[in-house]
Amino acid sequence: MKLQLKAWTTPIALLALCYLAYGVLIPKLGFYGEDWPVIASLRLPGAGAFWRFSGGESLLTGWIYTLFGLLFGTHKLLWHLWALFLRWAAVLSMGWNLRLLWPAQKNEVTWIAILFAIYPAFTQQPLAVANSPLWLAFCLYFLSMNCMLLSIRKPTRALPLTGLGLILAIAHLSLVKYFIALELLRPIFLWIAMKGDIIRPHLHWRAVWLRWVPYLVALTGVLAWRLTSTASAAFDPGHPILLQTLLQSPLVAAPQLIQVVFSQSVYNLLGVWYGAIQPTLLNLADARYVSSLAFGTASAVLTFVFLSLSNREPGDSSVLDGGWHRQLIPVGLLAYFLGSLPVWLTDPAVLAGHYNGRYNQAALFGLSALLTGLLEWITPRRLVKTLSISLLAGAAVGLHFRSTAGYASGWIDQQSFYWQLFWRAPSLQPSTALLSADQPLSYMGRFPASMALNMIYPQPDDSREVSYWLVELSSDIGRERLPGLQDGQQITISERGYTFLGSSLDSLAIYYQPEFGQCLWVLTPADRYNPDMPALTEEILPISNPKRIEPSTNLTQLPPPEVFGGEPFHTWCYYYEKADLARQLGDWQRVVAVADAALAAGFKPGLPHERLPFIEAYAHGGNWDESIRQTRKAFEKDPRYARQLCYLWQRIKNDLEIPPGASQQLDELRLQLQCRDQ
């Protein structure tokens, strides 16, 4: 007797697959991108901020985030576990829906569920806060469809099931706009479900119409509300710009729409799978790749074993009836187009930006069904299809693991940035803008990063104005406007219900490149000859105002640990930030003490710029030999710093009297650096 798994093992297997793809690294994940505005809204002005934050984008977003916020607060682990649960619940709801639709194809529906759980067109699962409403909407959508199909199977309960289905439909339509077009699948599902009950075609379509009318009325009502309410929304990344262009200038927009549809379809059907198995990524020296290979292989093997041992219906054989794909392929294709249509009709620039992966979410069901239908069409052999699904699952899990590992690494960089900023600026005057040439953090954006900054320091209560903002010079200002900043230009930024008011003269220039082993640099006009500095940052150095930093802090006002994590282990960057703060305050003894503490802890500077505070402190402390030695080390590390080092010594010479014993060494140093008066 062959071993066969029972039906109840399928949800467990799908949960295990989701865990391997997304859950293994959850303890190492944090908040990213669109997570931050929600988290900030929880802590800054309170739950009422969600209504301004949603800005008319959704009917229920404010309520949902308020409820989730009460349950999970700002605890990262809880949000990520909740997002994983919702994704699993969406997979189960979809599987239940298709089993009601095609009760004879239970094993094949499981194949669709597997692909739906891990399809690599959507790799932004770590945005747990932002994605939770989207997965909830998917659950509500399929549960509504299930109620509709159950009302056919159980006519005595048709009325309450239809009522519940309508409530769930209105809920998902009000929650996420990108699932609206998927509602047009209802008449197709009704037609399939009722096909065997009614022989005459005209009676068949009449029955379908009568069942669909209540849902069509609900769809029309919600759609009408959205069209009127979102017209005045302050933020709408999915505004149908291409649709408007198509209506106004069809000859211009039609080729553009065709290009978008073709390129996105080729990528979603083929490109994402090539990206999952891309041979150029093979690097056995990379621990992240080796781990993803191990988890992907384990997922493929476990999926194959599970599918091979799954319970089969009586009379099932290795060769299935090939007629099912004639229904599945059109349904999958239609579901893919309906799920993608709201995205295709938006601004094409959005598809190439930060939101692209998120917008693929509504198309996942159609892609999974379509791919399964194509497999059914290509081969009737169960073994071939089982092996294909298993290999695809393994490749997708490996890709998701690598992607999640990238998010985990990005969270480490975020934590380092926030804590280094706090060490360098324990207290920062309100209305201070941080000026950066570009976005210093991965998986972020200007608005999310600004929201995170405002959680580091205390904020005024019940105010729509935030005290700090990260300004990207390349995007927010532009090179042509940079000269005007030196005249005291007003900086006013409003986004998603929050406003920042400041002056360019109340700003700090920063530079952060952790991938090169660099600490956070708070730059001043004295760094004018730093060769590593971006050109845009160099232009605004004259207005970088370190006086915005206040040294004292209330130790009870540390960055909230449940958001940013506990204070990390003190490595070199901690000592550098503290030394640079002490240098700004002219506390040269403190700088030397920090240098001694760093050396005792086994840390030393790796970049020439990070030796500058110590060079200056040793000179002010009269330790000329050590100051000159540190200068030589900086020059030997990177000769490009010669001009910056010369400028530093020119300032030291202006401030201090060089003793005769050090004057000769300094002349030799200046000759080595080829210094000229600056």
Q: Is residue 102 part of a domain?
A: yes
Residue 295 — very low, low, confident or very high, per pLDDT cuts 50/70/90? very high
User: Percent of the chain beyond pLDDT 90?
Assistant: 49
- Asked if 666 and 628 touch (Cβ cutoff 8 Å), the reply is yes
Residue-level pLDDT at 315: 40
Residue-level pLDDT at 325: 83
- pLDDT tens for 100-116 read 999 988 888 999 999 99
pLDDT at residue 236 above 60? no
pLDDT at residue 1 above 50? no
- Asked if 133 and 102 touch (Cβ cutoff 8 Å), the reply is no
pLDDT at residue 317 above 50? no
Q: Which residue has the higher pLDDT, 38 or 283?
A: 38
Residue-level pLDDT at 229: 65
Rounded Cα gap, residues 78 and 563, in angstroms: 12
3-state class (DSSP) for residue 494: strand
Residue-level pLDDT at 515: 86
- What one-letter code names the amino acid at 39? I
Q: Which residue has the higher pLDDT, 486 or 241?
A: 486
Domain that holds residue 111: 9-408
Q: Within this chain, do residues 142 and 247 fall inside the same structural domain, yes or no?
A: yes
Reported as half-sphere exposure (CB side, CA atoms, 13 A), residue 374 has a value of: 12
Q: Within this chain, do residues 358 and 490 fall inside the same structural domain, yes or no?
A: no
Residue-level pLDDT at 228: 75
pLDDT at residue 446 above 60? yes
Residue-level pLDDT at 91: 97
Average pLDDT of the residues in 263-283: 81
- pLDDT tens for 157-213 read 989 999 999 999 999 998 888 888 999 999 999 999 887 665 566 667 788 888 999
Residue-level pLDDT at 413: 93
Q: Is residue 660 part of a domain?
A: yes
Residue-level pLDDT at 199: 55
Residue 507 — very low, low, confident or very high, per pLDDT cuts 50/70/90? very high
Rounded Cα gap, residues 672 and 667, in angstroms: 9
Residue-level pLDDT at 244: 65
- What one-letter code names the amino acid at 329? I
- What one-letter code names the amino acid at 219? L
Q: Within this chain, do residues 311 and 219 fall inside the same structural domain, yes or no?
A: yes
Q: Within this chain, do residues 16 and 160 fall inside the same structural domain, yes or no?
A: yes
Last residue of a domain, one of 339, 374, 408: 408
> CB neighbours (10 Å) of residue 26?
20
Average pLDDT score, the chain: 85
Last residue of a domain, one of 522, 552, 582: 552
pLDDT at residue 425 above 90? yes
Q: Is residue 2 part of a domain?
A: no
Q: Within this chain, do residues 393 and 284 fall inside the same structural domain, yes or no?
A: yes
Q: Within this chain, do residues 439 and 532 fall inside the same structural domain, yes or no?
A: yes
Specify the number of domains making up the chain: 3
Strands 498-503 and 465-466: parallel
- pLDDT tens for 509-557 read 999 998 888 999 999 999 999 999 988 888 889 999 999 998 765 555 7
Q: Within this chain, do residues 466 and 605 fall inside the same structural domain, yes or no?
A: no
Q: Is residue 608 part of a domain?
A: yes
Q: Within this chain, do residues 120 and 206 fall inside the same structural domain, yes or no?
A: yes
Average pLDDT of the residues in 556-583: 89
Reported as half-sphere exposure (CB side, CA atoms, 13 A), residue 72 has a value of: 22
Residue-level pLDDT at 47: 43
pLDDT at residue 352 above 60? no
Tokens of 624: 């000329």
Residue 285 — very low, low, confident or very high, per pLDDT cuts 50/70/90? confident
Q: Is residue 673 part of a domain?
A: yes
Q: Is residue 26 part of a domain?
A: yes
Average pLDDT of the residues in 623-631: 92
Q: Is residue 648 part of a domain?
A: yes
Rounded Cα gap, residues 453 and 469, in angstroms: 7
Q: Within this chain, do residues 382 and 490 fall inside the same structural domain, yes or no?
A: no
Rounded Cα gap, residues 369 and 357, in angstroms: 19
Residue-level pLDDT at 83: 96
Tokens of 84: 């994983």
Q: Within this chain, do residues 388 and 439 fall inside the same structural domain, yes or no?
A: no
User: Percent of the chain beyond pLDDT 70?
Assistant: 86
Rounded Cα gap, residues 39 and 50, in angstroms: 10
Most confident of 313-327, 371-385, 488-502: 371-385
pLDDT at residue 462 above 70? no
Q: Which residue has the higher pLDDT, 522 or 488?
A: 522
Q: Within this chain, do residues 542 and 586 fall inside the same structural domain, yes or no?
A: no
Residue-level pLDDT at 242: 63
User: Where is 389: in which H helix or E strand?
Assistant: helix 382-424
Q: Within this chain, do residues 534 and 583 fall inside the same structural domain, yes or no?
A: no
Tokens of 166: 């309508």
Last residue of a domain, one of 380, 408, 436: 408
- What one-letter code names the amino acid at 394? G
44-58, 217-231, 353-367, 468-482: the lowest-pLDDT one: 44-58
User: Domain with 671 in it: what CATH number?
Assistant: 1.25.40.10
Q: Is residue 414 part of a domain?
A: no
